[in-house]
Amino acid sequence: MLLPLTAALSEFAVSATPTRIGLGVLVAALIVRFGYLRFSLRAYARTPWVSRVLSWLIRSRTSSEAYLVRADGAPEAFAENRRAALHRLRERLAARTRLSSQWADALRGGLSDLRFTDASRVPFTFSEVMRQGFNVATVATASRGSRLLDLDGNWNLDVSGSYGVNVAGYDQYKIWMERGWERVRDLGPVLGPLHPVVADNVSRLQAISGQDEVSFHASGTEAVMAAVRLVRFNTGRKLLVTFSGAYHGWWDGVQPGLGSERAIDDCLTLRDMNDASLALIRARARDIAGVLVNPVQSFHPNSPPPNDAILLNNRIRQTQRDTNPYATWLRKLGAVCSEVGVPLVFDEVFSGFRLAPYGAQAYFGTRADMVVYGKTVGGGMPIGVVCGKKELMRRFDPDRPLRMAYVVGTFSAHPHVMGAMNEFLQWLVLPSTAAAYRAANERATNWARETSGEFERAGLPVKISNLETIWTMEFTDPGRYHWLMQYYLRAEGVNLSWVGTGRCMFNFDFTDEDFLDLRNRIRTAAENMQKDKWWLTEAEHPNRAKDVKRGVTRDLLAGLLSLPAPLQKFYREVMQRKHDDHIASHSNRINQFLHLLSSSTFIYCYWLVFFDLTTAMWLGLAALFVRQSGHALIEPPCHDKEQLLLGFDTKSKTKVVAVYLIIAVVNIGMTPTLDSAAFRHIFEAIASEWLVFTTIVVLGHVVRLKKKFGFKDAMVWFVKFVTDPITDISAYSPTLLGRRVA
């Protein structure tokens, strides 16, 4: 391809004129721009942008328990079973967490973290229903091995990992915290002057990270903020590259699509494991201050670690890392960054010291220009650490003395934290520690493989995927209730973090007995989910995959088009009246079929009345006669139930139909001649009188309801009456397919 292109350019140059040169430059610029846009579109991550837009567009939508149990479009026969199961689960959790729930309820108005976790672990459509009696806040009073003691006296198996802190086991961290305090007790909480133990910590962190300098901060998020500020300061560029699915703390400077309220124009979120992203980094290298990477991502629901792009069924062994897709991707990314002079920053706040003693750099066999640590490295105390090359860690510009990067932190080197950190760092380099990592990783991988196999043989739609001691629960069948698994697990005494089953972790204290106990608890929870019919087979729920997608789409659209709270409440009351009316006098399938016919005709008449009143009214009366025949002749006696509703009962409707017929008979009887012109005139007159009579009956009933029950109830009936033909179509269409509408 290059030879023909070169020949064409040579020929163009020989015959070039100023005009042709100008046009050529313009065309070349457009070609370059088009090519850039093509790989840019392939590289940009769409999920953050879409989530940011939807966060503004989707409004809160409160659904009922009745909707929750039918949200996947399952047959009505399973709804009552699910409703009873939901009540049993609520009662069981309430009994198990009585004191913890009281404690959480007392603080719910003051502790904002409770409200956040309560709202984020459940799909927004169902969150309001689940808040009613499903308080799952765990108030822990003690830890021992792999278990936590809650306020109600229950020992729960802990797989939360304390958000990644707990690698070695809680008992070991208690020892480090106590020893660390003993080492710095004489200095106490003095800030500013540094304790001598800081020097040893710096030396050990340099060896672990392979970097020149170290900076201490109060938390992982603060350390990420410092790292980003430093690469921008020292490169003189502002653009930061991150990857979709990564979490770099709560700071909105690295959250372009997750909870960020401000427009972010200095952060570029690209697709992970994508060659187009590498091409874009090359193309925009002069603008990029740094590439920030999570070696283990955390925001991909129902996806295995390290991210959603690959599936690791077995632990990555040393001999397999060269062929592992994610390790290969990280090395390619590092090579591109080194080639174009863009700093590569590893955010190991979560993954550091979780996968291997020397962190994700050692584990994946790659090297970054800057590494951020947190959580575990503090030995049980809060900490954030930035390790980087000397030229990236400068706070001052040597050529411009007034230019500086103000990166500080009051609690950055707290003596107690430094003491506990030193205990952890000493433990990290022991030969026995490497053996402990290998043993823990081996046990976790064997457990995940054996557990998945057992669940598959038992017909449970659950499997376990792991990356060493990090694991997640995946669901193999489509469904809308997988999030309920976290409630069933809590009822079985399994302690999870706020992300539920999305990211779980083992610590070194997990024994063989603990692994077996956990498998049994997960299996019991899954079997209860299956028994309670939250998971249905293909035979029980044909086309479940399509119904699930349809339900999710419906909820998103409802959120986009949702009404203000008062109108939502009004809508629910209208739909409840329709449901009550259906239960009272629409149980016979023949009657349902007749309603389907009449409703189709009414909808046509709604449109026709604006063009041909006579035809619309006569068709409407015929449909009304068919409709009322179903009630009067076919439906079992239901007058008592109908009298409890706001609308007309069967006797009243029969009288109304009789009046329609009387109007027609009287008009025909009063006509002296019955030629074609007279008939046309009579039909038009009857149609007009029917319209007047219909208006009087409907508005009269509205007035009567207003006097008796109030304006709102009167309008509920009126809206129900007008929209019944529309909802009848969706309600009774299954009758055509031979399915019963309960």
We report the CATH number of the domain holding residue 306 as 3.40.640.10
3-state secondary structure of 371: strand
| Cβ neighbours of 538 (radius 10 Å) | 10
Instruction: Kindly state the average pLDDT of the residues 369-386.
Output: 93
Q: Are residues 267 and 304 in the same domain?
A: yes
Domain check: are 702 and 631 in the same one? yes
pLDDT value at residue 207: 94
Pick the residue with more confidence: 565 or 75?
75
The model's pLDDT over 273-282, given as tens digits with 9 standing for 90+, comes to 888 899 999 9
Q: Contact at 8 Å (CB) between 362 and 206?
A: no
Judge if 415 and 316 occupy the same domain.
Answer: yes
Confidence category of residue 635, pLDDT binned at 50, 70, 90: low
- pLDDT, tens digit, for every residue of 61-111? 667 888 888 888 888 889 899 999 999 998 898 888 888 777 776 666 565
Distance CA 592, CA 662 (A): 28
At residue 441, the pLDDT reads 93
Sheet containing 288-293: give its strands across: 213-217, 384-388, 370-374, 344-348, 288-293, 239-243, 267-270
Q: Flag whether 592 is in a domain.
A: yes
pLDDT for the residue numbered 315:
40
Q: Taking 80 as the threshold, does the pLDDT of residue 353 lie above it? A: yes
Q: Is residue 420 part of a domain?
A: yes
Strand partners, 240: 267, 290
For residue 400, what pLDDT band results from cuts at 50, 70 and 90?
confident
Q: Is the pLDDT of residue 31 over 60?
A: no
Residue 39: predicted pLDDT? 58
Signed CA dihedral, 20, 25, 30, 31: sign only: positive
Q: 141 φ, ψ to 5°? A: -115, -15
Instruction: Check pLDDT > 60 for residue 169.
Output: yes
pLDDT on residue 719: 81
Give the whole-angstrom CA distance, residue 124 versus residue 314. Answer: 34
pLDDT-based confidence at residue 636 (cuts at 50, 70, 90) = low
CA–CA separation, 399 and 721 (whole Å): 80
Q: Assess whether pLDDT exceeds 90 at residue 560.
A: no
Residues ≥6 apart with Cβ < 8 Å to 101 = 94, 135, 137
CA atoms within 13 A on the CB side of 375: 21
How high is the pLDDT of residue 24?
55
Give the residue with greater pLDDT, 625 vs 277. Answer: 277
Greater model confidence, 106 or 422 = 422
Residue 54 lies in a domain: no
* Residue 497, strand partner residues: 500
- Do 476 and 584 fall into the same domain? no
Cα–Cα distance, 448 to 510 (Å, whole number):
14
> pLDDT tens digits, residue range 311-320?
333 344 444 4
Q: Which of 43-47, 253-257, 641-645, 649-653 has the lowest mean pLDDT?
A: 641-645
Which span out of 92-106, 153-167, 402-416, 669-683 was modeled with the highest average pLDDT? Answer: 153-167
Upper half-sphere CA count for residue 360 (Cβ side, 13 Å): 25
Asked whether the beta carbons of 347 and 248 are under 8 A apart, the reply is yes
- Residue 454 sits in a domain whose CATH number is 3.90.1150.10
Cβ–Cβ under 8 Å, residues 374 and 352: yes
Q: Under 8 Å CB-to-CB from 127, ≥6 apart: which residues?
A: 118, 119
Q: How far is residue 692's CA from residue 687's CA, in Å, rounded to a whole number? A: 9
pLDDT at 12: 44
The answer to whether residue 32 is domain-embedded is no
Mean confidence (pLDDT) of the chain: 80
Report the distance separating Cα 665 and Cα 650, nearest Å.
23
Statement to judge: residues 488 and 630 lie in one domain: no
Domain boundary among 429, 444, 463: 429
Domain residue limits at 116: 83-167+435-531
pLDDT of residue 704: 82
623 and 590 in a common domain:
yes
* Residue 460 domain-assigned (yes or no): yes
In this structure, the answer to whether residues 441 and 572 fall within a common structural domain is no
Q: Is residue 451 part of a domain?
A: yes
Q: Is residue 693 part of a domain?
A: yes
pLDDT in tens, 505-551: 999 999 999 999 999 999 999 999 999 999 998 888 888 888 888 88
pLDDT in tens, 443-488: 999 999 999 999 999 999 999 988 899 998 989 998 999 999 999 9
Judgement on whether residues 379 and 494 belong to the same structural domain of the protein = no
Last residue of a domain, one of 413, 429, 445: 429
Largest CA distance in the chain: 118
Is 1 within a domain? Answer: no
> Using CA atoms, how far apart are residues 618 and 694, in angstroms rounded to an integer?
13
**Cβ neighbours, 10 Å, residue 732:** 21
Judged against a pLDDT cut of 80, whether residue 695 lies above it is answered with: yes
Same domain for 248 and 127, yes or no, is no
pLDDT of residue 740: 46
Average pLDDT (212-227) is: 93
Q: Are residues 132 and 249 in the same domain?
A: no
Instruction: Please indicate, yes or no, whether residues 289 and 401 belong to a single structural domain of this protein.
Output: yes
Give the SS3 label for residue 387. strand
Question: How do strand 239-243 and strand 267-270 relate by DSSP bridges?
Answer: parallel
pLDDT higher than threshold 90 for residue 255:
no
Number of domains in the chain: 3
If one compares 132 and 96, the residue with the highest pLDDT of the two is 96
Asked if 180 contacts 420 with a C-beta cutoff of 8 angstroms, the reply is yes
Q: Tens digit of pLDDT for each residue in 566-624?
A: 666 777 777 777 677 666 666 667 767 777 777 788 788 778 777 778 888 888 778 77
Check residue 2 and give its pLDDT. Answer: 40
From the number of C-beta atoms within 10 Å of its C-beta (0-12, 13-18, 19+), residue 23 rates as: exposed
Cα separation, 189 vs 640, in Å, equals 77
State which of 387, 406, 429 marks the end of a domain. Answer: 429
Residue type, 28: A
Q: Count the neighbouring beta carbons within 10 Å of the beta carbon of residue 56.
A: 8
Identify whether residues 574 and 493 lie together within a single domain.
no
